Amino acid sequence: MFKGILIEKDEAGYRAAVQDIDEAQLPSEGDVLVRVSHSTLNYKDALAITGKAPVVRKFPMIPGIDLVGVVESSSHPDHRPGDAVLLNGWGVGEAHWGGLAQKACLNGDWLIPLPSAFSPQQAMAIGTAGYTAMLCVLALEKHGVRPADGEILVTGAAGGVGSVAVAILSKLGYTVVAATGRPQDADYLKHLGAADVLDRARFSDPGKPLGKERWAGAVDVVGSHVLANVCATTKYRGVVAACGLAGGMDFPATVAPFILRGITLAGIDSVMCPRADRLLAWQRLGADLDVAKLGEISHTVGLAEAIPLAGELLNGRVRGRIVVDVNR
């Protein structure tokens, strides 16, 4: 038996609770059994736990799109008992039992080695949010955005992706401007490396097809009017990396920024991202993220605490990253 958050949906309704789960219930299609030490609470996990969106594709389900732990048994050629491994995405916590539990049975192709630069807790302080932030930075670099080119805007900056993006970009020498709906977090964002902090409200209403050019690049986790206004104010040949929809899935924009200023909108998918890109992102995180800032970006809770925190996260009342110690 092991403990985990189990989401159930039946005649009695939709509910999530910490339960004792029989190991025999674990998915049979996995070829690696992992003894999980830490997971995280992401936006998608919060949607799954609360049922606010149809994230879970089958029931019962253990949520948790991230996990880190030690291989307990394996029939996969790349993994041996005792190996420290981590996982981000791959539909885990949606279609396949995930990381918010003490055990997980997984497809070994989804696992990568835990980088030596990080402890298990630090790896989950980064988690999918930080790994996604690094994919955004890599996209900006791939398209030629350099620190000398000008300001980089990060929207949703006080959240998990935004916090890590601000920390990475500032360490790499970029001038980072943070946009947030929580002005009380301005000092926090400046401590992470933001040169300036703007109220997200200035981007949230419908805007003009083109605005004054300001951003050499941007990392957007909000979508909707915010993304449209960011594109409209990005400089000639600038790049916007879009990785989230916290403000909505719509994109009420025009083609003007693309055909008149030649900007690039780079879509960032962390869920099905190829293994080589994952390994590169985690390698770069080890080099380009100041691990000393992880303590400020994250805090750790136990399994049961993650359930009420899910609603807080969806309501925008959680700053940075939530690490879940599944043995606490």
Amino acid of residue 83: D
Same domain? For 225 and 136 the reply is yes
Residue 287 within any structural domain of the chain: no
Q: Among residues 217, 232, 267, which one ends one of the domains?
A: 267
Round to whole Å and give the CA distance between 298 and 293: 9
Same domain? For 151 and 261 the reply is yes
pLDDT of residue 28: 83
Same domain? For 102 and 139 the reply is no
**DSSP letters for 210-254:** S----EEEEEESS-HHHHHHHHHTEEEEEEEEE---TT-S-----
For residue 123, the tally of other CB atoms under 10 A from its CB is 28
User: Which of 171, 177, 216, 232 is closest to 200 using CA atoms?
Assistant: 177
Question: How, if at all, do strands 264-267 and 234-242 pair?
Answer: parallel
Same domain? For 103 and 156 the reply is no
Distances in Å between the alpha carbon of 33 and those of 20, 179, 264? 17, 41, 41
pTM of the shown model:
0.92
Round to whole Å and give the CA distance between 327 and 37: 7
207-242 residue pLDDT tens: 999 999 999 999 999 999 999 999 999 999 999 999
Same domain? For 31 and 136 the reply is no
pLDDT of residue 45: 96
Residue 283 within any structural domain of the chain: no
Residue 121 within any structural domain of the chain: no
Same domain? For 143 and 73 the reply is no
pLDDT cut 70: percent of the chain above it = 100
Residue 11 within any structural domain of the chain: yes
Domain count, the chain: 2
281-317 residue pLDDT tens: 999 999 999 999 998 889 999 999 999 999 999 888 8
At residue 38, what are phi and psi to the nearest 5 degrees? -140, 150
Same domain? For 173 and 92 the reply is no
80-104 residue pLDDT tens: 999 999 999 999 999 999 999 999 9
246-267 mean pLDDT:
96
| Tokens read off for 127 | 């988690």
Q: Which of 111-115, 181-185, 267-271 has the lowest mean pLDDT?
A: 181-185
Same domain? For 255 and 131 the reply is yes
User: Which of 62, 134, 87 is closest to 303 using CA atoms?
Assistant: 62
Q: Among residues 251, 267, 283, which one ends one of the domains?
A: 267
134-155 residue pLDDT tens: 999 999 999 999 999 999 999 9
Same domain? For 52 and 173 the reply is no
Same domain? For 136 and 257 the reply is yes
42-77 residue pLDDT tens: 999 999 999 998 999 999 999 999 999 999 999 999
Same domain? For 250 and 298 the reply is no
pLDDT at 273 over 90: yes
25-40 mean pLDDT:
94
pLDDT of residue 296: 87
pLDDT of residue 319: 83
User: Which of 268, 267, 258 is closest to 231 using CA atoms?
Assistant: 258
Residue 285 within any structural domain of the chain: no
pLDDT of residue 306: 96
1-23 residue pLDDT tens: 999 999 999 988 999 999 999 99
Domain that holds residue 41: 2-114+293-325
pLDDT at 246 over 90: no
E strand or H helix at 137, and its extent?
Answer: helix 120-142
pLDDT of residue 317: 86
The residues near 12 (Cβ < 8 Å, ≥ 6 apart) are: none
- The CATH number assigned to the domain holding 74 equals 3.90.180.10
- The CATH number assigned to the domain holding 239 equals 3.40.50.720
Same domain? For 31 and 163 the reply is no
> Residue 176: pLDDT band by 50, 70, 90 thresholds?
very high
End-to-end CA distance of the chain: 16
